[in-house]
Amino acid sequence: MIAQEIVNGLVLGAIYALMALGYTMVYGILRLINFAQGSLYTVGAYVAFLLVPATTGLERATPILQLAVLLLAAMLATGVLAVLVDLIAYRPLRRAPLFASLVSSLAMMVLLENLVQVVVGAQPETFPTLISTTPWLIGPLAVTPAQVVLVAVAVLLMAGLQLFTQRTRLGRAMRAVAVSHDTAAMMGIPVNRVIALTFFLGGALGAAAGILVGLNFGTITFNMGDLAGLKAFTAAVLGGIGNIPGAVVGAVVLGLLESLSATVIPTQWTDAITFGVLILVLALRPRGILGERVAERV
């Protein structure tokens, strides 16, 4: 049913959007594709998974409180890890050719993924059912409480990021650095700190996406960030990489396309369509749906 697939597509779009924002912010600041974003998404999911036993007392009050604590803890931990990724893998290559940073990004993605595998093992883990996945029937639609919470949390985080970048002093500093590192530095803006903040926010949003995926689908794996990261990157390019609203629009379009295509073609072709869209966008409109706003990349 088309209406049901639209609901499913919006859920997928919300997940892709949180990850795509990490890609688009880092690209806007550094012109770097941070492929480690997919691994940070995985790390966030596992940090929350490992912290669940320590928060079980909160579940007796309300599952939402427990979820909020897990989100905050995992987002903080993963954000700090993202800053370390920048410090170790990217900052020493600031003046190096772009190719060097790209290779470092891919290496960091593989390193983090393998570290997760070493720590937690290769077997999938069942994420605790913090929010019910029993569907509510609304006319012909089946919507679960977990899906409602997922979309609500994603919207709140995306709205908060938009307000932060547009209305705060640090947000203005991020936009200034996106235009020119040298000019921002001459204006007294601590460029490296702003870049670190950008990585922190991107990692935190990726962690939130990983937790919400575990919440909604019930299973997490050490390599769950591989395909999800590539799809989020596709969403960022589709919307206009370097553009926050563009990343959200691209993610929603991609989620709907992926979900609706399953109604007319076999599901095994879904990923092929996703990356076929990436190729078409790069060939026909490399600036994406909304295009890159040079003065407001982030």
Q: Please list the residues that pair with 141 across neighbouring strands.
A: 138
- Segments forming the whole domain that contains residue 254: 2-296
Q: What is the rounded CA–CA span in Å between residue 148 and residue 79?
A: 25
CATH number of the domain that 284 lies in?
1.10.3470
- pLDDT (0 to 100) of residue 2: 85
- pLDDT (0 to 100) of residue 295: 39
pTM, 2 dp: 0.91
- pLDDT (0 to 100) of residue 269: 81
Q: What is the rounded CA–CA span in Å between residue 253 and residue 239?
A: 9
Tokens of 15: 């997940």
- pLDDT (0 to 100) of residue 60: 66
Give Cα separations from 177 to 27, 122, 173, 186 (angstroms).
Answer: 12, 40, 6, 11
Q: What is the rounded CA–CA span in Å between residue 252 and residue 77?
A: 27
Mean pLDDT by 10 residues, the chain (298 residues): 88 95 92 93 96 81 87 97 95 88 93 95 92 86 92 95 93 92 92 95 96 94 93 91 89 91 78 81 80 47
Tokens of 239: 């919307």
Structural domain count, the chain: 1
Per the listing, tokens 């395909």 go with 227
Tokens of 32: 């770097």
User: What type of residue is 238?
Assistant: L
| SS3 assignment, position 120 | helix
**169: number of Cβ within 10 Å:** 8
Q: Are 101 and 93 within 8 A, CB to CB?
A: yes
Q: Where are the beta strands (DSSP E) in the chain?
A: 125-126, 136-138, 141-143, 219-220
- pLDDT (0 to 100) of residue 284: 82
- pLDDT (0 to 100) of residue 297: 41
Give Cα separations from 262 to 9, 117, 152 (angstroms).
Answer: 10, 31, 25
- pLDDT (0 to 100) of residue 144: 92
Residues shown for the chain: 298
94 class by beta-carbon count within 10 Å (0-12 exposed, 13-18 middle, 19+ buried)? middle
